[in-house]
Structure 1
Amino acid sequence: MSQIVYFKYYIYLFLFLWVPIEAKLLKPSKDGEKKEILIINGKRRLYYPAEAEGLYYSINGPTRLEFISRYPVLKKKNKSKPYSYSIILNDKDTISVNHRYKVQKSIKSIQHPKHKYTYSGNYFINLNSGTHKVVIYPDKKLKYPVLMRVLSKEFGVVTNKKQILQPLIHQNSLKIKVGDSDVAYYECTSQYPLKIEASGEKTLRIMSRLQFSDSMGQEESYRIKVKEKNKIIGTYYFSTERSSNSFILKRLDKVPGKWRTCEIKVPKGKHHYSIEIPDKHKAVLTRFILY
């Protein structure tokens, strides 16, 4: 039996949703004068090199961060190139990011004309209210610095017509009791990814809750990877804690985490997205809204 679950449009509703507005390129709080300009599709894009001493940022939340990275290779090299870096949040949480991308031959560098560069890798983190210290370190084994763009997206409120997505192939939903409401979620694990169908141009919001077991702590992190065919749209990192005012019906031995969200832009036409959980032994309860 296939382990991929398909989704379709189900119902329309009106909701207030928090969505990100215009993205802002952040400048490092240290060594911000070190930069590299890449020419991509005729446009100049500013990147900052993450070197051994680290790339430091001081960021005010709440905000959603997008980490856009590329790795330089010599012009004679055309094979896909693996690279990795670490994100340190507030001197306590370490997030390891691993990418492998082919060389994008059309990119040119003003400073390093003999280099080619990979396609971009995208990683996302939501930050809560307050001031946060973010430091990026490249893998020590890498020959060159990882080029980084860190974008911050603030949140605004919009009201519009929404669509809830449900499975095409039957899968029983799990109901989470929130106040007087029973909200349907669908379980996603590393063994059982989900696949959804969405038509654009619209925005797909993925709402998620980590399922806590007795062996887990009060706070945990998890990741969601979104792919279209073999292309990784983005990997989203979340930190959450046990919810004290909601519970999973028929799974009273488990506790839902507080909900977290991410969004992707759906281009014009019909698209199929795979929703994957990279963390083994973790179950994430998800629901999908298209607007």
Structure 2
Amino acid sequence: MRFYSKLILAATLGVCLGAIKPISNNEKDIMVLNKLKTRPYYSSSSSPLVYEVEGPIVIKMISRSRIKSSKAYSKKSFAMGYDVIMNNKKVDENYYVNKIDPNVASKNFSGYAYSKSNSYLLSIPSGKHRIKIKPDGQNLYPMCLRVIKQEIDQEEDPRNSMLIHPNEVLDSYQILKSSGSVREYYKLNNQNNIQLNIKGPKMLKIISRLDIEGENHKQDYSFTVEQDGYFLGNYSFKTEPSSSKLRNDPQKVLGKWRACRVYIPEGRHYITIKNPNEEKSVFMKFSLYE
């Protein structure tokens, strides 16, 4: 089991549509934040929390550890992890280290303290899906989870957008769509990262297409996003062959485009995109919205 040494920061996509209740039988934990706001979480030590969702949407998973108060303040940090399973197939995992949040209490679990929240984002493709969040077997404390459904904006007004390009000089690839229009993309693989220099506040839209190798069928892929060296999240997608072609290599099979959005806060920030898969490459282009 591995743990990230830095806190995972929250990214914001789309419009929040409210929390999703699990269909599994998990304990409900009503947390009080800053003595004002209440938020329902559901907890488990070992059994998965199960959700049924219909895409395309993005879900945000907000997790915390629940620790006996007598033990909480004697420790500096708490490690926790979980697996993300979609339709009985593991698609990702999230492991991290966090500290106690003194501004969180519980209405129905007295005598407990809670870690700071951790946020993880997952893009859900079209159709109905069953998502299982399974706590890691090495977790020392129960995991409390809150899942929020967020809408994906299907169309943004292009008049309010601006194409941006990576900091470093990279080869660009022209992708020809079936409509005849041409779009410029950059290639992300395991050997090179893509870094963007962005002055916020802005919404960054990342459009990606998988370079489909081997058998011509539906495939999945993922990439990670960091902001100023801090892990923001892992973005996972499923795709299938499209009619679009590389202008200089029309025999290559490209996946249908998939999009995700990352909120860039005020100030200048460096966004780094990494591909953890040694065998898959992804074509990307980037737009900024106010």
The TM-score range, normalised by the shorter chain, is 0.7 to 0.9
1:36 Cα deviation after fit: 4.4
Q: CA RMSD in A?
A: 2.4
Structure 2 match to 1:57: 51
Q: Indicate yes or no: 2:80 matched with 1:83.
A: yes
The whole-number CA distance in structure 2 between the counterparts of 1:217 and 1:109 is 51
Query: What amino acid is the match of 1:287?
Result: K
Structure 1 stretch displaced more, 189-198 or 152-161 = 152-161
Structure 1 stretch displaced more, 280-289 or 30-39 = 30-39
Gap change, CA 1:35 and 1:127, over 3 Å in 2: farther
Gap change, CA 1:135 and 1:168, over 3 Å in 2: closer
1:253 Cα deviation after fit: 5.2
The whole-number CA distance in structure 2 between the counterparts of 1:83 and 1:35 is 18
**Structure 2, unaligned stretches of length 5 or more?**
1-12
**Superposition map of 1:25-44 within 5 A:** 25-31=19-25, 34-39=28-33, 43-44=37-38
Query: What amino acid is the match of 2:227?
Result: E
8 Å CA contact 1:213, 1:253 repeated in 2: no
Structure 2 match to 1:6: none
8 Å CA contact 1:107, 1:117 repeated in 2: no
8 Å CA contact 1:68, 1:123 repeated in 2: no
Structure 1 match to 2:98: 102
The whole-number CA distance in structure 1 between the counterparts of 2:248 and 2:40 is 51
Q: Indicate yes or no: 2:17 matched with 1:20.
A: no
1:242 Cα deviation after fit: 1.9
Cα deviations by residue, 1:21-70 (Å, 9 ceiling, x for unpaired): 23311111232652241525964333211443321212233322122223
1:263 Cα deviation after fit: 0.3
The whole-number CA distance in structure 1 between the counterparts of 2:166 and 2:47 is 47
Secondary structure in structure 2 of the residue aligned to 1:192:
coil
The whole-number CA distance in structure 1 between the counterparts of 2:168 and 2:131 is 41
Query: What amino acid is the match of 2:218?
Result: E
Secondary structure in structure 2 of the residue aligned to 1:278:
coil
8 Å CA contact 1:70, 1:121 repeated in 2: no
1:145 to 142, 145, 158: 142
Structure 1 match to 2:210: 210
Query: What amino acid is the match of 2:40?
Result: L
Secondary structure in structure 2 of the residue aligned to 1:34:
strand
Structure-1-length-normalised TM-score:
0.82
Cα deviations by residue, 1:227-256 (Å, 9 ceiling, x for unpaired): 11232222111111222x111233345321
The whole-number CA distance in structure 2 between the counterparts of 1:282 and 1:38 is 44
Query: What amino acid is the match of 1:45?
Result: R
8 Å CA contact 2:28, 2:40 repeated in 1: no
The whole-number CA distance in structure 2 between the counterparts of 1:186 and 1:204 is 16
Taking only the aligned residue pairs, the percentage that are identical comes to 26
8 Å CA contact 1:84, 1:96 repeated in 2: no
- Give the count of matched residue pairs: 268
